[in-house]
Structure 1
Amino acid sequence: MASVRISFEFPAVVNEKAARTVAGGVALVSALALVTGWLWLAALLAVGFALRVAFGPRRSVIGWIAADVVAPRLGTPKRVPGPPKRFAQAVGLALTLTATVFLAAGLPVVTTALLAVLLIFASLEAVVGFCAGCYVFGLLMRVGLVPEETCAACNDISLRRRETAAA
């Protein structure tokens, strides 16, 4: 019988192409929710974010499709540090959980606003490669709120080059 191993580790290095594809999927689901009025999709987005934060990018449907189906077709992986991407996923989780709570409380206008914010930031990452969560993570490191050892590759580009060569 095969053993099942569940890992709570987020990868130290992720494929930027897969991350941008995940953002594209999040943007599409957010847009679908806003256009159709199916605001309950915020709860599904929250589950996906929770799975990616807890278990890594391949543990959600959008993450699996991005990492195993779409990204390999986009060419050579572009390796980037994982901790900022995990932080960005946690921000997405906070947004979608808050949106879901407000929807359950009978305040769909707040849910709509939060999904619109998510759509904007997910689109920025998917289309132009700007990860707002990663940017904030970097700022938090610079002011000392995130310890440097959390992401050594974030501060030292040569470490990223070595990890890319090893991958």
Structure 2
Amino acid sequence: MRSLFAFPNPVNEYAARITAGLVVLLALVTAVSGSGWGLLAIAAGFWLRVLFGPRISPLALLSVKVIAPRLGRTKLVPGPPKRFAQGIGAGMSTLALALFVAGAQPAAWTVLGILMVAASLEAFAGLCLGCRAFALLQSRGLIPEDVCEACNNISLRRS
């Protein structure tokens, strides 16, 4: 059962950035079309990635299995911060969906816009806000050091 909910560690940074770019594209199409179904697809994708890693999510599979290998670039980074970031995306996209269903469309689109900004920073600038939040929480002792040994041990980050 544990392997069912496993998340890769390490993660290819380029595949994660491609997935973020695909999220931006899907969110843009969703916002332009005003589609609640698009919000559902975005939220479902984040939950699939949080719970199962890239094994089931269509966007992650496209990134990991098709696009990233064609780029031929790999940069391995710790997995736990990326999973944490996916969890934040799952929460935000679920909130946007709930607001949409509740009839608060302007609030839903605002939350989706914030999510698009965060995903754009990851995709186009390599700045993962969720990863930064993870590091801050770990440095404050709110996330135990053993959750991500490579995150708190500079010598492991270089290897």
What band does the TM-score fall into relative to the shorter chain? over 0.9
Residue 105 of structure 2 corresponds to 108
1:36 to 13, 33, 36: 33
* TM-score (norm: length of structure 2): 0.94
The separation in 2 between residues aligned to 1:76 and 1:114, in whole angstroms, is 32
The separation in 2 between residues aligned to 1:120 and 1:57, in whole angstroms, is 22
The separation in 2 between residues aligned to 1:102 and 1:40, in whole angstroms, is 13
SS in 1 for 2:77: strand
Structure 2, unmatched stretches of 5+, are none
SS in 1 for 2:4: coil
Structure 1, unmatched stretches of 5+, are 163-167
The separation in 1 between residues aligned to 2:38 and 2:154, in whole angstroms, is 38
Q: Which amino acid aligns with 1:109?
A: P
Aligned residues: 158
* TM-score (norm: length of structure 1): 0.90
Q: Which amino acid aligns with 2:124?
A: V
Q: Which amino acid aligns with 1:43?
A: L
Is 1:124 equivalent to 2:121 in the alignment?
Answer: yes
SS in 2 for 1:64: helix
Q: Which amino acid aligns with 2:50?
A: V
Q: Which runs of 4+ in 1 moved over 3 A?
A: none
Q: Which amino acid aligns with 2:58?
A: V
2:45 to 43, 48, 61: 48
The separation in 1 between residues aligned to 2:3 and 2:76, in whole angstroms, is 24
The separation in 1 between residues aligned to 2:121 and 2:32, in whole angstroms, is 19
1:19-53: per-residue Cα shift (whole Å, max 9, x none)?
Answer: 00000010001111112222431111111111100
The separation in 1 between residues aligned to 2:55 and 2:127, in whole angstroms, is 21
Residue 149 of structure 1 corresponds to 146
Q: Which amino acid aligns with 1:64?
A: L
1:10 to 7, 11, 29: 7
Displacement after TM superposition at 1:6 (Å) = 6.3
SS in 2 for 1:7: helix
